[in-house]
């Protein structure tokens, strides 16, 4: 199922989709209008020159008015809810189910914030991925997508790399996931230049890592325990867990290379 009919979303379909998101931009009805204003301010700030990565500002946001307070975390949850619906609750890259904790569902910036700060809060530049894809994705090939333009590129301009919001997954990538009692094998095949690029730059490593972890009972149990901690951890302890997992990821990736 897809929210657009043709090869790419039309302008009318994009307008409809954006409106559906803005109508539900906060779970509390009385906060919707104010959240729209706050997001619009951040959107403009990101695009004013010199470009600003406003994502940390959304993280830290706590807007207090007589109606109550609006936190950045609740704005992100509303976004995640909307996008997960479109993605049928699966990772935008590897298509694994995103059923565990909120922290295992990072918001993924398709054009990376580091190179494209002007799109750090652009609705079309965000998707939801699994933690593995979010941390393993490399920032490199974006073809001819300009880093200096204020206009978000059209769907048709993404010719070199896969764009999870503008490309239909099934048109670009096929995958096969096989599980037995003791092992897991995942195979990804790119069907188009964009799908092939996604396989080369990310999915083949994700498949190798999944096989490595799932075929090692001790490692799998340890990682699943770390994930269950995350659901409860806050602040500093969460940062420490993140650092630990990033280091573990790095070691695993080095093993695979
Ligand atoms: Zn993934």
Q: What is the pLDDT of residue 237?
A: 64
Cα of 95 vs centre of ligand 1, distance in Å, is 6
Cα of 31 vs centre of ligand 1, distance in Å, is 32
Confidence tier at 229 by pLDDT (50, 70, 90): low
Q: Is the pLDDT of residue 86 over 80?
A: yes
Percent of the chain with pLDDT over 70: 88
Cα of 191 vs centre of ligand 1, distance in Å, is 18
Average pLDDT estimate for 131-145: 77
Query: Residue ranges of the domains in the chain?
Result: 11-215
Q: What is the DSSP string of the chain?
A: --S-SSSS--HHHHHHHHHHHHTTSSSSGGGHHHHHHHHHHHHHHHHSSSP---HHHHHH-EEEETTEEEEHHHHHHHHHHHHHHHTTTB-TTT--B--S-GGGSPEEESS-TTT-GGGTT-GGGEEE--HHHHHH------TT--SS-SSPPPGGG--SS--TTTS-HHHHEEEEEEE-SS-EEEEEEE-SHHHHHHIIIIIHHHHHHHHHHHT-HHHHHHHHHHHHHHHH--HHHHHHHHHHHHHHHHHHHHHH-
- How confident is the model over 20-74, as pLDDT tens digits? 999 999 999 999 999 999 999 999 999 999 999 999 999 899 989 998 999 998 9
What pTM value is reported for the model?
0.82
Cα 205 to Cα 228: distance, rounded to the nearest angstrom: 24
Cα of 38 vs centre of ligand 1, distance in Å, is 30
Q: Is the pLDDT of residue 110 over 70?
A: yes
Q: Is the pLDDT of residue 89 over 80?
A: yes
Q: Is the pLDDT of residue 238 over 80?
A: no
Cα of 123 vs centre of ligand 1, distance in Å, is 20
Confidence tier at 198 by pLDDT (50, 70, 90): very high
Q: What is the pLDDT of residue 79?
A: 94
Cα of 23 vs centre of ligand 1, distance in Å, is 28
């Amino acid at each position: 199922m897809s929210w657009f009919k043709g090869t790419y979303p039309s302008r009318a379909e994009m307008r409809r989709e954006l409106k559906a998101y803005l109508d539900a931009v906060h779970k509390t009805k009385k906060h919707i209008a104010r959240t729209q204003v706050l997001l619009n301010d951040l959107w403009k700030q990101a695009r004013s020159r010199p470009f600003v990565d406003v994502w940390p500002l959304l993280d830290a946001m706590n807007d207090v008015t007589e109606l109550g307070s609006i936190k950045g975390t609740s704005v992100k949850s509303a976004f995640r809810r909307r996008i997960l619906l479109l993605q049928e609750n699966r990772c935008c890259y590897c298509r694994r189910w995103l059923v565990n904790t909120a922290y295992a569902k990072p918001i993924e910036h398709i054009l990376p914030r580091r190179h494209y700060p002007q799109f750090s809060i652009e609705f079309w530049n965000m998707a939801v991925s699994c933690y593995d894809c979010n941390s393993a994705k490399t920032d490199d090939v974006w073809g001819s997508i300009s880093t200096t333009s204020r206009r978000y590129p059209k769907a048709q301009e993404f010719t070199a790399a896969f764009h999870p919001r503008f490309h239909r997954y099934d048109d670009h990538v096929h995958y096969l996931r096989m599980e037995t009692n003791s092992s897991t094998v995942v195979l990804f095949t790119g069907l188009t230049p964009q799908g092939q690029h996604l396989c080369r730059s990310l999915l083949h490593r994700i498949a190798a890592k999944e096989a490595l972890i799932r075929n090692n009972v001790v490692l799998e149990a340890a990682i699943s325990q770390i994930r269950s901690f995350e659901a409860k951890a806050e602040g500093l302890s969460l940062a420490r867990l993140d650092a630990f997992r990033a280091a573990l990821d790095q070691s695993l990736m080095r093993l695979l290379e």
